[in-house]
Structure 1
Amino acid sequence: MKIPDLSVVIPFYDEEKTVEPLTKVLVNEFKKNNINYELILINNGSSDKTSEIVDNLAKKFKSIKAVHVKVNKGYGWGILNGLKIAKGEYVGYMDGDLEIKPDGILNLYKKVKKTSADVGKGIRDRAESDFFKTIASRGYDLLFFFLFFKFIKQVNANPKIMKRDCYKKMNLNSKEWFIDSEIIIKALKNNYKVVNEIVSYTPRRAGESHINFFDLFPIIIKYIKNTIKYRFER
């Protein structure tokens, strides 16, 4: 079997309304652009019909793999479970909530290839709909700048794509949301070339956000602690 050009991991946690629409759009986009792809759909401990839908899509399309994580240990854990079986020359991931227009991952892949970059990340074309998340994101970008002397806009935004060998060297281990930051931190420490691509963002239309205001504060504290830890870790 030919090695895929690109493997994309998509974690779904109780996203029964978005799994099929998102997947079918991606399949059409990759076929239209003649890209040899692999989609790895992660049922990240869902309690709705996500599991069933993921399995049905994997049966229908040869380029799709279904992975079932019995217990949701975090956003990053779902992604790590997908990346470890990814076969593509480039590997990456995106959210499964349809807030980012599906062609964003395709445009990012083209940008990474065109510029011979090691890592690519999306930048939302507008601020998040949640005021507190927007403030937290901008504050974190500022902290990141002071610690690494490098301004990276929307550090935690995705999709993200990495060359396979770069991904292997990163040895990612974040089980929570910090995986986005871990990738950028390790990319900078390894002097990898990082490029950005603007992606179209629309506030969630289906399902519910899995982070509320009361969840946000402890997440911010953990982000700060982890960022400082990784900054001074050898």
Structure 2
Amino acid sequence: MDISVVIPLYNEEESLPELYAWIERVMKENGFTFEVIFVNDGSTDRSWNVITELSEKSECVHGIRFRRNYGKSPALYCGFEQAQGDVVITMDADLQDSPDEIPELYRMITEDGYDLVSGYKQKRYDPLSKTIPTKLFNATARKISGIDNLHDFNCGLKAYRKEVVKNIEVYGEMHRYIPYLAKNAGFNRIGEKVVQHQARKYGTSKFGLNRFFNGYLDLITLWFLGGFGRKPMHVFGFLGSIMFFIGFISAFIIGADKVYALANGIPQRLVTSSPFFYISLTMMVIGTQLFLTGFLGDLISRTSDTRNDYQIAEKV
């Protein structure tokens, strides 16, 4: 099979028939063999009924229905698990992503050799309250991930080589960082394509401003796991050692100064009346805690079932 199209959705009953008809037309015009996997993320409208009707009319339509709303990442994870196409395309169900982009995305994967191609909505039909935070978010993601050529990490329209989606785990709200997940898994050929962004035709957006705050927290988590997930002692042990050393030296200097003053009969206040003494002790305590955190983290990582789960490209 050439292409699997994975579409997560929540309350998009009006757009689904039009979206599938559009995808079907594009696929037939280009002679692709394909499947469309709709992942109904706990919709409360008639979305599942529409998906069922579409599947009865076409054997290319498959559906997954969650009992409740889990989020976009779990929907993509389940869709990726079922996808059988050589190239996997993801898009949103609100008709803001154009299926006309699929042939070029497919070509970039199969002919240009990319592992992943992310859409870039250069001209957006969103309010400033959404576009400005999006620009700041993408700038931060580029800096931390090191993927400098991507302008829109969160674009729903993406194309993947099949091996990519079968070797990454999309969980929580990590769908924003699938290119970063792919890079951490060893898929470094990541490209970008400017795609058409269309104004929403039906319904309203399902995302609020809180996604930007959550996105930054997820980015920090992904950065840490990518860099220190298998070696937590390297970060916690290092920081703990530095803090303990600074605290110890500071306490030693305070104590030595007190001993010198007593030996020479110089009047001086009690060591415990100095705030620097307590700061030094606090740094030593925190440093010890950080060191022990790294030690425990190493013990946990060594007993993990995935401690030797490495990405092997091929064998001969």
Q: TM-score, normalised by structure 2?
A: 0.67
Q: Deviations over 1:1-21 (max 9, x none)?
A: xxx111111112000110110
Tell whether the 8 Å contact from 1:119 to 1:160 is kept in structure 2 after alignment.
Answer: yes
Match of 1:211 in 2: 207
Provide TM-score, normalisation by structure 1: 0.89
- The offset of 1:134, in angstroms, is 1.5
What's 1:125 paired with?
122
CA distance in 2, matches of 1:221, 1:149: 15
Identity, in percent, stands at 23
Structure 2 match to 1:195: 191
The residue aligned with 1:63 is 60
Secondary structure in structure 2 of the residue aligned to 1:16: coil
- Residue 134 of structure 1, aligned match among 131, 136, 151: 131
Equivalent residue in structure 2 for 1:226, among 197, 207, 221: 221
Higher normalized strand content (fraction of residues)? 1
User: For the pair shown, which has the larger CA radius of gyration, 1 or 2?
Assistant: 2
Superposed CA deviations along residues 64-87 of structure 1, whole A, max 9, x for unmatched, are 111111111101111111111111
Match of 2:162 in 1: 164
Q: CA deviation at 1:111?
A: 2.1
**Which residue among 106, 128, 133 is the counterpart of 2:103?**
106
Residue 184 of structure 1: how far off its partner (Å): 0.8
Q: Distance in 2 between matches of 1:148 and 1:188?
A: 9
State the alpha-carbon separation in 2 of the partners of residues 145 and 48 from structure 1.
37
CA distance 1:140–1:227, shift in 2 (3 Å): farther
**1:10 and 1:95 in contact (8 A); partners too:** yes
CA distance in 2, matches of 1:97, 1:107: 21
CA, structure 1 residues 65+25, in 2 after alignment: closer, same or farther (shift >3 Å)? same
Match of 2:170 among 167, 170, 173: 173
- Kindly indicate which of the two structures has a greater share of residues assigned to helix: 2
Contact 2:15 2:95 in 1 (8 A): yes
The alpha carbon displacement at 1:30 in A equals 0.2
Q: Deviations over 1:141-174 (max 9, x none)?
A: 221232233312111113112111222222x132
RMSD between aligned alpha carbons?
Answer: 1.8
Counterpart of 1:196, as a letter, is: E
The number of residues matched between the two structures is: 227
Matched, 1:186 2:186: no
- In structure 1, the gaps of 5 or more residues are none
2: CA distance, partners of 1:39 / 1:83: 11
| Kept after mapping to 1: 8 A contact 2:118/2:193 | yes
Task: List runs of 5+ in structure 2 lacking aligned partners.
Answer: 231-316
Mapped partners of 1:66, 1:191: distance in 2: 28
